Each structure stands twice: as structure tokens, then as C-alpha cells.
Amino acid sequence: MTTVDSAIGTTKTMVLNMGPQHPSTHGVLRVVLELDGENVVSAVPDLGYLHTGIEKSCEDKTYSQAITLTDRIDYLNPLGNNLAYCLAVEKLLGLEVPKRAQYIRVMLVELQRISSHLVWLGTHALDMGAMSVMLYCFREREEILKIFERFAGQRMMTSFIRIGGVALQPPAGWREMVKRFVDMMPPRIDEYEALLTENRIWQGRLKGIGYLSPEKLVALSTTGPGLRAAGVPYDNRKVFPYSSYEEFQFDVPTRTESDCYARYLVRVAEIRESVKIVRQAMDKITDEGVIKAEVPGVIPPEREKMKTEMEALIYHFKIFTEGFSPAPGEAYAVVESPRGELGCFVASDGSPKPLRVHFRGPSFVNLQALPDMVKGQLIADTVACIGTIDIVLGEVDR
Amino acid sequence: MTQVANANASVVVEQLRAWNAQAVAQVLEYRGETTFVIPRELLRAVAFQCRDNPALSFNLLSDATCVDRFPLEPRFELNYQLVSLQRRVRVRLRTSVSGQQPTVESLVPVWQGANWMEREVFDLFGIRFDGHPDLRRILLPDGFEGFPLRRDFPVEGKR
């Protein structure tokens, strides 16, 4: 407890715990707030309540087994995590992924981005007191989860992206299903915007809140919509394209206000861009074709081959009992997750288990900006700031 | 793609060696990625060069992490992933730290974003960062004993 000078003279501050079970912290984040009345003097985030040691566990799994763990890091973006990890391992192996598999990856990851932004919009609106938006957003998210269920048999932890390609051929009727969704989505986005964008309460709660200058954000290593809302057009899909993103036409939405409202506008615009990318990916995915690279001893062979060829059977057995061993070396692969730059660092020592797997979670790094963002603002604005940083505690704590 | 990476690597090496002949001990090229091995004592000075030299301008620190090569010595390898937003390139800085005295200069004065990344490395590997403003455990509880991401820490935990 310290004393501060305020308009009415010298006052004593008070320390207040926000979380770890506070509904607006989106999980188990604890923020120790030092308050002068209702104004925040300082904020110290306290993390680790959800630490599960995923990086350590990866070291005890073979390269392909570790994929299932990556799903559970950022649980709103499991496919994006799979992709970052698989790109890193593929880089380590020097492996080329067939184009068709790359397009399937892009389509699914973009659907995942839409679903993640919908959860963000719904929960953030709920934090700000607009309950109906949440119900709208989860309605559309449900459609995306149904698509994932059709593709992978799982709604959330799909582990659908595998080393060298994807797990399965797209299911029968996938094209109609995805088309129905992308046709439905743009008018639904208009619906959310009709509820929020010009809403006076919404603007009052978000405009001018949580400003940080672009230089400050770069120094703090912030990436993703938070940085783009400050006018820095940094998007890994454009700047360092992966998985054939250079073949897709889309814009990187930016704003310059760098407040909570600008972050909201950037995310809504990103949903529209993702819909565009999904449409293009659908056209690029042919009805027939391969879904994974063919590398004996690394990529599991086709079921049919396994039953007719001796070598294929041996490789299959070896891959699932012992795994494969990339040459010693390191690789760092980066994808643009809904929250920013998701990096995956994989080091191999030539054994079938990775020496080190590290995830650079955008939520973890972006959350560093919170103390600077909320300094001098009201407690209620802290909720808005935590919301628009868009953290997923699974990724913060790993 | 590889050619661009190589051209970029030579620019960085030239600039850094022109500033200090000992700045880059080794340049590694693997799978299209460039790694500069930096002597441990020069790490912060090189980092300042990387950020402030207009020909380099690595203004974003993407990631900082550690690899434990136990039982080899020096066992720890710190990897810093840098991005230049203007020039659209990525490089990696690497420095080795011994197990007897795992200490290295903090890069928080260079990139503020290194704060939590270094706290995470301190928490899980037990490497001390000199000049760090707030070196506390970040993910594990304060009373936790040991450093779980070291290779000699059992996966199932200590009983």
C-alpha cells in the first residue's frame, strides 16, 4: 500500500485481487490491481494457474504423438497450433507438402480463425454487458464446429493436421457444407455490426480505452490484431507466407486509433477476409488428389498399400512403435494465429523424440502490454483491455 | 528463398563484424534459417546493434527460448528470434551458457518484450538474467524446487 497524490490531496491506495476466478479474465488469470479510488495505479498479472507442462510432455513423445498435445495449448485455435508444429517438423525434415493438402490446411485454419474471433466477440460483448451478441456468435460457431466434426470426427481437439499433410480425405458433401456456411456468414457479420458498431454504449465502453503507441507495442513484442489496430500491417500470412498463402487474395485490415474499439473493428474485418480466403481455398481444392507427402519411413503409408506391400507394412510398424528421427538441427516455424504470431521452435538431437519443443504463444507475449494499457484507467476499463488483448489461458500458461 | 536468406545473412554479418570483429563467432545456415552464434559476453551489445543499426533494424523480438543439451557442456543454448518489420527478414541469435554458472545479460533494456520470455526461461531452466528488472518465477508457484525443463528433471516430476 502506498500513497499517491490525486486531485483531492494525498490518498492511500488499495490492493485488489482480480481473479483467478473472475469471469472477465476468460479463464484463470489473476491481476493484482493497486487502486486509487476507481483508478488503476498499477496492475501486475500473475500467471501459471493452468500450467500443464505441455512443452516437457512433448519431449517424452514421438514427433507424431506430440501433435495431440499441441491442440490443447490454444484451445480456441487447435488447428493453428497443429499447423505451427507440423510446419516446424516439416522444416526440420526438409519435407514438401502437396498443394492440395496445403489448401485444405488453409481452409480449415481460416474457419478456425472465424470461430475463434466469434468466441472473442461473443465473450467480449458479454463482458461489456451485451448478452445477446454472445448467443448470435455461438450460433455461427456451432456451424463451424459441425464442419470440423464432419472432417475429423471431433469438434474441437481435431489433431487433423499431421506431419506431411492432413489426416483424412475431405468427407463426402464437404463442399456444400462449407459453401452453405460462407454464404451465410457475411450477412451474419452485418448483423453483429448492426448490434455493436454504432451502439453508443459499446462505443462509450471501448473508444479511447487502452491506447498504446505503435512503437511501444513493437517494443513489447505485441503482434496480431492489437498491433494492426495501431497501424502496423504486420501479418505473417502476407509478410512471411506459409502453406501457399501467397496464392490467396486478401487484405490485412488495419486501423490507427490503437484503442479497444479499433481492435474490435480489425477483428470484425478479419472475419470478412477469412470468409474470402475460405471461398478461394474451396475453389483450389480439387475433388481428387493426395492429402499427404509420400516419404517412406516418415509418413504413414496408405491403408491399401499396407495390405499389399511388405515394405509399407514394415514402415507402418516402425512409425507407430519407434517413430522417425529427423537429422540434428533446429527449426522455427511461424503462423498467424487469431491472436498474433504463433511460433513453434523444435530442436532435434537425431532421436525419435524431440529434444525441445517450444511454443511462442501470442497470448502470453501480448498480455505483457496489459500493465501499460490499464495504467491510470478505471477498473471497468481493465475488463475491456483484458478482453481486447484476447488471451487464451491455455496458451498463456501452457 | 534460400538465396534471399543468404544475401540477408551476409549483410548482417558484415555490419556486425564491421562494428566488432568478434561479434559473430559462427554463422549457421539450416533449412533456410540463419543463426548467428554470439559470444556470451557480447550478447547485449550485439542486440543493441541489431536493433539500432539502420541497415539491420531488428525491431521486434519474436521469441526467446532455451535448449538444454545435457550432459554436453556448455549445456544451455539461448535462442532469440528477431524480426525486422521494415526489411521483412528473420534471423536467430544464439549464445551458449554453461551449467556451472548459468548467467547471461538480460535483453530487457533492448526489447521490453523480453521481460516475460526471460522470466519463463528463468522459471523453467534456471538461467539468471543480469539486469532483469523483475526476475521471478512466472508459470510455476514461488516455492517450487528445481527447473522442470532441464533434461535431468524427470518427465513424471520429482517425488
Is the pLDDT reported for residue B4 higher than 60? no
Q: Which residues in A lie closer than 8 A to residue B66 (C-beta atoms)?
A: 356
**Which of B31, B67, B155 lies nearest to residue A56, judging by beta carbons?**
B155
Distance CA A288, CA A169 (A): 9
Phi, psi of B158 (to 5 degrees): -85, 140
Q: Identify whether the C-beta of residue A381 lies closer than 8 Å to the C-beta of residue A209.
A: yes
Q: Identify whether the C-beta of residue A86 lies closer than 8 Å to the C-beta of residue A163.
A: yes
**Cα end-to-end distance, chain B, whole Å:** 49
> Among A8-17, A60-69, A203-212, which is the least confidently predicted range?
A8-17
Does A43 reach chain B within 8 Å, measured CB to CB? no
Cβ pair A330:B60 closer than 8 A: no
Tell me the average pLDDT of chain A: 90
Question: Mean pLDDT throughout A252-262?
Answer: 91
Cβ pair B139:A232 closer than 8 A: no
Which are the contacts of A125, defined by CB distance < 8 A and separation ≥ 6? A131, A133, A134, A137, A196, A202
* Mutation site, A332, A359, A372, A393, interface B, largest B CB count within 10 A: A332
* Mutation site, B85, B139, B140, B150, interface A, largest A CB count within 10 A: B139
**Which of B90, B139, B155 lies nearest to residue A59, judging by beta carbons?**
B155
Q: Which residues in A lie closer than 8 A to residue B33 (C-beta atoms)?
A: 91, 330-332
Question: Mean pLDDT throughout A50-70?
Answer: 91
pLDDT for A380: 87
Is the pLDDT reported for residue A107 higher than 70? yes
Is the pLDDT reported for residue A206 higher than 60? yes
At A252 the three-state DSSP class reads coil
Sequence spans of domains, chain B: 2-101
Q: Which residues in A lie closer than 8 A to residue B112 (C-beta atoms)?
A: 219-221, 368
User: Could you identify the residue written with the cell 491510470?
Assistant: A376
Q: How confident is the model at residue B1 (pLDDT cuts 50, 70, 90)?
A: very low
Is the pLDDT reported for residue A183 higher than 90? yes
pLDDT for B3: 44
Q: Identify whether the C-beta of residue A85 lies closer than 8 Å to the C-beta of residue A67.
A: yes
Q: How far is CA B21 from the centre of its chain?
A: 20
pLDDT for B20: 81
pLDDT for B14: 82
* Mutation site, A28, A221, A246, A367, interface B, largest B CB count within 10 A: A221
Q: Which residues in A lie closer than 8 A to residue B88 (C-beta atoms)?
A: 239-240
Residue-wise pLDDT for B56-106, tens only, equals: 889 999 999 999 988 888 889 999 999 998 888 889 999 999 888 899 999
Distance CA A268, CA A118 (A): 9
Q: Give me the helix-helix angle, A379-389 and A99-127, nearest 10°.
A: 170
Cβ pair A51:B31 closer than 8 A: no
**Which of B60, B124, B153 lies nearest to residue A218, judging by beta carbons?**
B60
Does A53 reach chain B within 8 Å, measured CB to CB? yes
Q: A56-61, long-range: CB within 8 Å, 24+ apart, which pairs?
A: A56/B148, A56/B149, A56/B153, A56/B155, A57/B155, A58/A354, A58/A357, A59/A353, A59/A354, A59/A355, A59/A356, A59/A357, A59/B155, A60/A353, A60/B155, A61/A353, A61/A354
User: Do the bridges between strand B33-37 and strand B89-97 make them parallel or antiparallel, or are there none, so unpaired?
Assistant: parallel
Say whether the ipTM exceeds 0.95: no
User: Could you identify the residue written with the cell 538474467?
Assistant: B129
Is the pLDDT reported for residue A330 higher than 50? yes
Q: Identify whether the C-beta of residue A158 lies closer than 8 Å to the C-beta of residue A152.
A: yes
Cβ pair A364:B116 closer than 8 A: yes
Does A59 reach chain B within 8 Å, measured CB to CB? yes
Q: Who has greater pLDDT, A163 or A23?
A: A163
Q: How confident is the model at residue A127 (pLDDT cuts 50, 70, 90)?
A: confident
Q: Is B148 exposed, middle or buried (0-12, 13-18, 19+ CB in 10 A)?
A: buried
Measured between CA atoms, how close is A344 to chain B, in angstroms?
A: 10
Q: Which residues in A lie closer than 8 A to residue B118 (C-beta atoms)?
A: none
H/E stretch holding A356 = strand A356-360
> Among A341-345, B26-30, B75-79, B103-107, which is the least confidently predicted range?
B26-30
Q: Who has greater pLDDT, B5 or A20?
A: A20
Give percent of chain A with pLDDT exceeding 90. 53
**Pairs across A and B, CB distance < 8 A:** 104
Distance CA A264, CA A252 (A): 14
Architecture of domain B2-101 in this structure = 2-Layer Sandwich (3.30)
At B95 the three-state DSSP class reads strand
Q: How confident is the model at residue A48 (pLDDT cuts 50, 70, 90)?
A: confident
Q: Identify whether the C-beta of residue B75 lies closer than 8 Å to the C-beta of residue B100.
A: no
Q: How far is CA A94 from the centre of its chain?
A: 25
Q: How confident is the model at residue A6 (pLDDT cuts 50, 70, 90)?
A: low
pLDDT for A28: 84
User: Could you identify the residue written with the cell 453508443?
Assistant: A200
| Buried/exposed code over A64-89 (b: 16+ C-beta within 10 A; e: otherwise) | bebbebbbbbbbbbbbbbbbbbbbbb
Is the pLDDT reported for residue A236 higher than 70? yes
Distance CA B112, CA B108 (A): 5
Q: Identify whether the C-beta of residue A393 lies closer than 8 Å to the C-beta of residue A30.
A: no
CA distance to A72, A121, A134, A255, per residue, from A196 (Å): 31, 10, 12, 17
| Structural domains of chain A, ranges and CATH numbers in brackets | 54-397 (1.10.645.10)
User: Do the bridges between strand A161-162 and strand A39-46 make them parallel or antiparallel, or are there none, so unpaired?
Assistant: unpaired
Q: How confident is the model at residue B2 (pLDDT cuts 50, 70, 90)?
A: very low
Amino acid in the structure at residue A396: V
Residue-wise pLDDT for A282-318, tens only, equals: 999 998 888 888 888 889 888 888 889 898 999 999 9
DSSP secondary structure letters along A9-71: EEEE-EEEEE-SS-GGGSSS-EEEEEEETTEEEEEEEE--TT---HHHHHTTS-TTTTHHHHT
